[in-house]
Chain A
Amino acid sequence: MTGLLEDGVGPSPAVRQETLIELRELVVDYVLSGRRVRAVDHVNLDVGKGEIVGLAGESGCGKSTIANAVMQLLRAPAQVTSGQVLFHGEDLTKLSTEQLRKFRWRNVSMVFQSAMNSLNPLMRVGDQFVDMMKAHERISKNDALARAADLMETVGMDRSHVRSYPHELSGGMRQRTIVAMALTLEPELLIMDEPTTALDVVVQREILQQVQDLQRELGFAVLFITHDLSLLVEFSDRIAIMYAGEIVESAPSDELFRRPLHPYTVGLMNSFPPLSGPLERIVGIAGAPPDLAKPPSGCRFHPRCVHCDPSSHALYARQTTERPVLREVEPGHFVACHLLDTP
């Protein structure tokens, strides 16, 4: 199985004509004193041009490792053991340092959770835009500052904030500044790794609405990584759910929300108490995510799965010994679960 979604699945076929980023059988290991911990295990994932793809999962499931692999930011002890990261069909692992330097910000840029704390506290915000632009193109300082001011405006801030120091801005404003900076060179893909987790719900919504408006206007693709499934359903076209280094389910957002099939996805959905409607005691998912240094045998979710029952002998044997494979169970809806491939 190559690309996860090959047959034009997504909310609108028009935006899925061309694949921008393609992860093929990607394996990333963390190697520490001879021990090998597999953080990403044979993952296939596509992001089409102009598409918003959500990647959800709990901490340690490998979602941030994937973001760093796309940016080619993995450093020892992490290593890409096998597989490919293709950008417009070109293998990113083969790029030289100089090619990568040009690739980042220009082709793909990234906003991460603590990005708002990564601004240089001693430099005015505008000057930090100038530095980044000058690293990529010939541009005068005045032109660069003018463009920085334009960009600040597009993310809902005042032009005058180019003269601010980071400490003069609130967390939300700093994160907006980072989004503006990430969009400066008009990249084709914006990766957002928990971009609003440290922010309030109101600020979070403001920033994401802004990003969605800009995305519709400029047409860049987004890989949005978060543990907040309800936010993801609102924001993305398609969602992939990761558990213990693997993608266990992937489907268009609406479909995933209305008909989650993997027991882990169902459990995640049931982990959020409702804000309206009847309220009853909910249990979420029993247990905790596995230690990837010694992952469970068979299906990695089986120790926490409500459908894993030793009295159904045949199924139990498969669940505990055999790794389920990601299969297309409905057009565009992929699930890796023995329940769905056992007749």
Chain B
Amino acid sequence: MSAVAVAPDRTLDVQGLSKNFPVPGASLLHRQMLRAVDDVTFTLKQGTVTALVGESGSGKSTVARLISRLYTPTGGSILYRGVNVGAMHGKHQLLEYRSRVQMIFQDPFSSLNPVKRVDYHVSRPLLIHKIVPKADVLDRVHELLDSVGLVPAEEIAKKYPHELSGGQRQRVAIARALAVEPEVILADEPTSMLDVSIRLGILNLILDLKRDRNIAFLYVTHDLASARYVADEVLVMYAGQIVEHGPTDDVLQRPMHPYTKLLLSAVPNPEAGLHSHRLAARPKTDLAVDLVGCRFAERCPLAVASCISDPPVLLERRSHHLVRCPIIDPST
């Protein structure tokens, strides 16, 4: 590994990441490609939560899967502490990377083997990655369960997944991720399948882990309010591209991109009422078509002719606040 000198808090750098998928049903000779992720760049830092928000199909989960190497990128690179992950070879290096970068999935009902007890799920990574001597595994399992609020740990460890609630199962998934002492956790909609009264517990756990273990989180979600609650930085994704990126409060309180504004106005707001913001129903962008201009143009209330013809560039329009829209006025 030839590590380039990087700032110590930059755990993971994603640079110009792209992923194309073949369009199903298209002819093999003229294969159309769907640009699910297009030139995505960001950095995950120690002890920081970065939220990746967008609607379904925006490519946000694909980004998490690319980082976890469930998919191979079409272009761009992922640097872990300055080392290009794509150039890693051999079982040892990959095993090492996978123990540093862990993923938590949306559905805690399908991510745990139903015929195995909790202690099996949490001890497996300890054994595979040889984190502790065999004799100490059970103690560590109890410690881990305890650290994610699953008490009494000795009792929970003996349970099967079906004996646990959704929130408890998600905590088991988090304990399993923590077992290998990761530096990065990719959480893909970790609360969206949970009951409202349980969600906060998981969000608070993320905040605690960020603080206590200095973990870098990528929090993938469509829920802007929860992103505001846990994240230090927000990336807004639309049709495979980052359209806005900046400190959480700046992006969510003073959004610049018309898409971010649309998303924010669609969030239920009891104070305002359902018809407080009229949304224009517009077609969704077809990702398979090679659009020259802005991908949001056909839904955008501000669109002008140049939006269709000129590709917008992600630019810093306010301090640390990047926007992919040339026509907005950053001062408003």
Contacts and interface: CB of A to CB of B under 8 A. Distances in A.
Question: Which of B168, B196, B226, B273 has the most C-beta atoms of chain A within 10 angstroms of its own C-beta?
Answer: B196
B303 interface: no
Interface stretch (B68-76, B153-161, B261-269, B324-332): B261-269
Interface string B151-186: 000000000000001111000000000000000000
A137 interface: no
B291 interface: no
Contacts of B267: 201, 275
Contacts of A283: 200, 204
Interface stretch (A6-14, A97-105, A223-231, A329-337): A223-231
Interface residues of B, number: 41
Given A234-B274, A275-B267, A288-B165, A229 B196 contact: yes
Interface in B267-283: 267-270, 272-275, 277-279, 281
Contacts of A200: 55-56, 222, 266
A201 B263 contact: yes
A264 to B, nearest CB: 9
Contacts of B203: 273
Contacts of A257: 270
A80 interface: no
Question: Which of B200, B222, B278 has the most C-beta atoms of chain A within 10 angstroms of its own C-beta?
Answer: B200
Contacts of B222: 200-201
A234 B276 CA distance: 10
B253 interface: yes
Question: Which of A202, A204, A231, A268 has the most C-beta atoms of chain B within 10 angstroms of its own C-beta?
Answer: A202
Contacts of A230: 268-270
Q: How large is the interface on A (under 10, 10 to 19, 20 to 34, 35 or more residues)?
A: 35 or more
Contacts of A267: 197
Interface stretch (A69-77, A110-118, A205-213): A205-213
Contacts of A171: 56
Contact of A205 (B56, B168, B195, B266): B266
Question: Which of B195, B264, B279 has the most C-beta atoms of chain A within 10 angstroms of its own C-beta?
Answer: B195
A274 interface: yes
Interface string A320-332: 0000000000000
A58 B195 contact: yes
Interface string B44-56: 0000000000011
Contacts of B226: 273
A237 to B, nearest CB: 12
Given A209-B275, A276-B253, A227 B195 contact: yes
A295 interface: no
Nearest to B299: A202
B252 interface: yes
B201 interface: yes
A33 to B, nearest CB: 17
Nearest to B284: A170
B199 A288 contact: no
Given A234-B273, A288-B168, A282 B262 contact: no
B224 interface: yes
B279 A58 contact: no
A156 interface: yes
A208 B274 contact: yes
Contacts of A212: 274-275
Interface string B222-234: 1011101100000
B198 interface: yes
Contacts of A281: 204, 207
A272 B225 contact: yes
Interface string B213-240: 0000000001011101100000000000
A300 B105 CA distance: 32
B118 to A, nearest CB: 16
A83 interface: no
A275 B269 CA distance: 9
B282 to A, nearest CB: 10
Given A275-B267, A279-B229, A202 B55 contact: yes
A58 B196 CA distance: 7
Contact of B228 (A201, A235, A279): A279
Given A202-B262, A228-B268, A234-B273, A282 B195 contact: no
CB-based closest 3 A-B pairs: A284-B200, A273-B229, A233-B270
6 contacts: A202-B266, A206-B279, A233-B270, A275-B224, A275-B264, A289-B197
Interface of A: 58-59, 156, 170-171, 200-206, 208-209, 212, 227-231, 233-235, 257, 267-268, 271-276, 279, 281-285, 288-289
Given A234-B273, A271-B196, A275-B224, 6 more contacts: A209-B279, A234-B270, A257-B270, A267-B197, A273-B226, A289-B195
